[in-house]
Each structure stands twice: as structure tokens, then as C-alpha cells.
Structure 1
Amino acid sequence: MTDPGDYNDSVIQAAGCVLWRRSPTDGEPEICLVHRPKYDDWSHPKGKLKRGEDALAGALREVEEETGYRAVPGAPLSTTKYYANGRPKQVRYWAAEATTGAFTPNDEVDRVLWLSPAAARNRLTQPKDRTLVDELLVRVLEQT
């Protein structure tokens, strides 16, 4: 198998956000993770882009679809590259602060958790998703 960095036009394009907010109880940052029953995993909200869709617009759409929250986009974060079902996939990420909304379980996501950054790192299923928490801390939260 080739390196996921050797992508061509057949790559699955996706986007998502590391969604965060200030805790309503103590003002500390919390990160939203989604549980996908299909994969029984915990991840950041993300999904495939629609044909011709701008990546940031797609990331914000996916956040709202999966979590019920609208968000204000912030700094761009890393892009992850991996194989999904034998096909190369690329997911572009942004930091995004939750504004309004409320979660309602749906077909894709049955639960969300708002966790401290340390707890979110520990709960995430994929190691590549944990580095995004670290990036959020350095690029966004330490500056606010």
C-alpha cells in the first residue's frame, strides 16, 4: 500500500473541527467529542465534503449536524491523512468555539461529551485525534 501522503484525485475529502467552549460552571475550556455507534469510537465531529463544498463550510456543517451546535471558526489545525476502507482519506481541521445549540441523538452520533482537554485526550479512540487537542491548547486556548 502506498503512503497516504501520495494522494491523487481519488482521495476522500473530509473536514471537521475541534469544538470547544468555556464550561458553564467554572469557565475552564471543554472539548466536545462525539460517539459514533457505527464504529463505537470517540472522535472530533467531522465528515465527508459534498461535491464542490468549501472545506471550512463543510467542517462547520458537520459540527452542526453531529453535535447540534453552531460554531465560530478559529485557527486552522493539522490535516490528518489515513486510509478508510482501503481508500486514502484527508481530513482538514479547524478550532471552533461553540456558540448556540443543543445535542439531539441522530443516526450518526448517539452521544456527545464535553470534557476537559486532558479527559478528551484520554477518551479519543484514535491517537491522531489526540494531537489535535494539543494543537488547540497551544494555538487557541493558551492565547485566550
Structure 2
Amino acid sequence: MSDPVRAAGCVLWRRSRHHGDIEICLVHRPRYDDWSFPKGKLKRGETALEGALREVLEETGHHCAPGAVLPTARYLVNGRSKEVSYWAAEATDGVFVPNDEVDRLAWLSPPVARARLTRPGDRCQLDAFLKSDPSGA
């Protein structure tokens, strides 16, 4: 069996400017017509965390501060094993600009984000993120 495809991403979050509650960032990828966390394949020689931060910046236009390690997602893509390492990450600054890979971005309350995720398995990372108490409260 071949080595798994290695990828990394983040459950990107911020505090709402309007009410102070946590908002979760989901990206829409037109190629797959799905809503997911920002993530992507690692480049040669890149650590998982470096890849996660790079992918967040490329897909969302946002810099972020990584936090808690979240569960790794493992699933099959076209018959090949894929492993995606995840971190919680607070958005620090940036501006989203639509591109070929990601055409839409949404900041959503956790329940709405949970319902919008295309892959039910991604809810594991969201649930772990919420249990990690990112707010420090």
C-alpha cells in the first residue's frame, strides 16, 4: 500500500465584531462544490504546521496564530489514503480575495458551520475545537 497523501489545515476562527461570539471560517471550493476548513497538500520538506499556515493564507488571505492541535482526519480519496493534520488557529489579519481554488468564504456561528460542512467527518475537528475552549473563558 502506498504512503498516504499528507495535508494540513486549520479550524480558523475569530471573534465577531458585532457580538463578540466565536465565528468559524469555511471556504467553498468550486472544483469540488464543497464547504470545508482551509487545508491543502504539504509541499516537499514542509512541516504539517507550516503547510497548515500556508494553506490558510493562500485560501483565505488571513494570517493566523496557531493554537491547539486537533484530531487528524483520515479518509480515502480516489482509493488512496489521505491524512489531514489540523490546528485551531485564530485569524489575526487579512482580507479574502476570491481565486480559482476558493471562490467564497463564510464566517459562521459554530452550529451553522457544523451544518454547512460538506464532509460529515469534518465535524470531528469542529467539535474538538469547541471543547478546547479557544476563548480562554
Shorter-chain TM band: over 0.9
User: 1: distance between equivalents of 2:109 and 2:102?
Assistant: 20
Cα displacement (A) at 1:106: 0.7
Unaligned runs of 5+ in 1: 1-7
Over the matched positions of the two proteins, sequence identity in percent amounts to: 63
1:11 and 2:4 are equivalent in the alignment: yes
User: 2: distance between equivalents of 1:80 and 1:103?
Assistant: 25
1:137 and 2:130 are equivalent in the alignment: yes
Q: How does 1:23-34 map to 2 (within 5 A)?
A: 23-34=16-27
1:128 and 2:121 are equivalent in the alignment: yes
TM-score by length of 1: 0.92
RMSD (Å) for aligned C-alpha atoms: 1.1
Partner of 1:3: none
Instruction: Read off the aligned partner of 1:117 and give its amino acid letter.
Output: P
Q: How does 1:25-104 map to 2 (within 5 A)?
A: 25-104=18-97
User: 2: distance between equivalents of 1:9 and 1:94?
Assistant: 26
Unaligned runs of 5+ in 2: none
Instruction: Read off the aligned partner of 1:115 and give its amino acid letter.
Output: L
Cα displacement (A) at 1:143: 3.5
Instruction: Read off the aligned partner of 1:96 and give its amino acid letter.
Output: A
Call closer, same or farther: CA 1:118–1:34 in 2, change over 3 Å. same
Call closer, same or farther: CA 1:142–1:97 in 2, change over 3 Å. closer
